[in-house]
Amino acid sequence: MRNIIILLFLVLITQSKAYACSILNVDIGTSVNVAKEKFDFLETFDSSTYGDDFSVRYTVPAKDYCEDSNLENADLEVIVYNSQIAGINVLSWDPNIKNEIYDFTNSFIGSIGEDLKSDRAGLKDLSLGNLLIIYSKYEHQEQIHELLEITNNQLSNYVVGEQILDANL
């Protein structure tokens, strides 16, 4: 009986950590009307402005939407297409901050392994079923940057390319 109580307590602690992170509590494909309960910046979304031809990208500090994480310097990008969440990205532009997204991904999503902890480019596919989850380190202007991308098969075409407008401009 004691072991069951301890196991239940550990499950609750682990689950509460994930629930404190709004970044991971909005499913891809969720309507903006539902998602704005977690992401208050979506209150400004107006579907008539963008129509069906464009996606819109909102960029905000990630730490504001994930308590108990190490995302002090990272950005959160939420991409909306056709009034639904098409993608969620967490990225770090500061090459002096090492493994911020790596540590977040290991803590909240799944193990990446030690190969990508070093300061070199690479990627890890953490996808589950229809959910596409890619962690990557890439080189830009001779510096390494980190990116976590979350989307699904149906909406993946709307999270990259020229048809994305920045809402923050």
- Beta strands 55-61 and 164-166: pairing type? parallel
Indicate the average pLDDT of the chain: 86
Could you tell me which residue, 91 or 16, shows the higher pLDDT?
A: 91
pLDDT at 78: 98
pTM of the model: 0.85
Please check whether residue 129 is in contact with residue 29, taking contact to mean a CB–CB distance below 8 angstroms: no
In the chain, where the domains are located: 2-166
**C-alpha gyration radius of the chain:** 17
State the DSSP code for 128.
Answer: B
